[in-house]
Amino acid sequence: MSMKENNWIDRNTFHHSDFWDLIKLVEEKEKKGLKISLCIPTLNEEKTIGKEVLILRSELMERYPLVDEFAVIDSGSEDKTLEVASNYGADVYLASDILPEVGNKRGKGENLWKAIHQLKGDIICYVDADISNIHPRFVYGLVAPLIHREEISYVKAFYDRPLNYSSGLRPSGGGRVTEILIRPLFSLFYPELSQIIQPLSGEYAARREVLEKIPFPIGYGVETSHLLDLYQLYGLETFAQTDLDRRVHRNQTTNALGKMSFGILQTFFNRLHTQGKLDRMPDLETFYRRFEVEDGNYRQLIQEVVEEERPPMIEIEGYRNRPDIS
């Protein structure tokens, strides 16, 4: 590892305990005149959303006024996600009702993108809806570096998974897709970005002024595209990362992760081309193929995965005409 990389790790990697004093953090936020919005994107999360809203709202809005706005943005849940979230005190929105003139697309990235229009904060913090060990550190650990250091504009979470290791050595890597796909790709094409320990984590906070300038894939590629686009625009110094210790959530099947990887690869190849690392963009298939075997019969399953992208929010007329933007 180069001296430059060592310096970045030392300067821009934090532990949530660095920011335990929430009274001082709120004072610093108010001194700098910052407003913070918290967004949880959802789709059929009635089992965990209530606990998340209850804990984050009671600790970070009522006990300590760190968060100014708390919204759940939903993709069209068929369960009681929105009802539960509203009952526990979150503002709830359907993504399809936000910027209706641009239409509606299904995907987590769509919710994250429309949150930029719907929410008013200078800093937007995104937290996934399936965290069973939710704790206020999942928010304050991410927004704190943005409050304290103006040169940082995007903060990623990293954490351990609840697995047992007899060696006692703490793993510091990401999930399966990160270690098998993203880290090798970053090592090949963007070696500096390989220092980001969990590039696909669903918890991160960013300044509005950078989020509004980048496109958003509506599907699996959104987290990867954020890193590549902001690195291209601002360099490694724009990033920081915070150790949140432990995250407990449901694990996805290998088949689901294969589909996710297929979508991420589409986004990655697109960025290689637009950023001049690939001379000619190949014709990419949009059908993901895998096999199932039953009683000696082999059946190919084909699913279409298209990584559509929303343009930078600043290009949307309805956003530019917002009273607090124009």
Over the stretch 169-227, which tens digit does the pLDDT of each residue have?
A: 445 556 889 999 999 999 999 999 999 999 999 999 999 999 999 999 999 999 999 99
Residue 163 predicted with pLDDT over 50: no
Task: Tell me the mean pLDDT in the region 46-53.
Answer: 96
Place of tokens 């590629």: 221
Burial label for 245, CB within 10 Å (0-12, 13-18, 19+), is middle
Over the stretch 218-274, which tens digit does the pLDDT of each residue have?
A: 999 999 999 999 999 999 999 999 999 988 756 778 888 999 999 999 999 999 999
Task: Tell me the mean pLDDT in the region 160-174.
Answer: 51
Q: What is the mean pLDDT of the chain?
A: 92
- Whole-angstrom distance, CA of residue 120 vs CA of residue 252: 33
- Whole-angstrom distance, CA of residue 272 vs CA of residue 181: 15
Looking at residue 324, its pLDDT comes to: 76
Q: Which of 156, 221, 206 is nearest to 39 (CA)?
A: 206
Cβ atoms of 260 and 33 within 8 Å: the answer is no
Q: Which of 63, 115, 108 is nearest to 92 (CA)?
A: 115
Looking at residue 5, its pLDDT comes to: 59
C-alpha dihedral (214, 73, 50, 197), degrees to nearest 10: -10
- Whole-angstrom distance, CA of residue 188 vs CA of residue 269: 13
**Which amino acid appears at position 246 of this protein?**
R
CA distances 34 to 68, 91, 145, Å, are 9, 20, 13
User: How many CA atoms within 13 Å lie on the side-chain side of 295?
Assistant: 0
Over the stretch 53-105, which tens digit does the pLDDT of each residue have?
A: 999 999 999 999 999 999 999 999 999 999 999 999 999 999 999 999 999 99
Task: Tell me the mean pLDDT in the region 14-41.
Answer: 98
Task: Tell me the mean pLDDT in the region 103-112.
Answer: 94
Q: Which of 288, 280, 279 is nearest to 259 (CA)?
A: 288
Tokens of 148: 């304290």
- Whole-angstrom distance, CA of residue 262 vs CA of residue 260: 5
Looking at residue 174, its pLDDT comes to: 60
Query: Beta-carbon neighbour count of residue 243 at 10 Å?
Result: 20
Over the stretch 271-306, which tens digit does the pLDDT of each residue have?
A: 999 999 988 888 889 999 998 888 889 999 999 988
Give DSSP secondary structure letters for 161-180.
-S---TT-PPP----HHIII
Residue 250 vs residue 164, higher pLDDT: 250
Q: Which of 308, 314, 317 is nearest to 105 (CA)?
A: 308
Long-range contacts of 159-164 (CB under 8 A, 24+ apart): 159/198, 159/201, 159/243, 159/244, 159/245, 159/246, 159/247, 160/245, 160/246, 160/247, 161/246, 161/247, 162/246, 162/248
In what helix (H) or strand (E) does residue 287 lie, and over which residues does it extend? strand 287-294
- Whole-angstrom distance, CA of residue 250 vs CA of residue 268: 26
The percent of residues above 70 in pLDDT, for the chain, comes to: 93
Domains of the chain plus CATH, in order, are: 3-252 (3.90.550.10)
Residue 164 predicted with pLDDT over 60: no
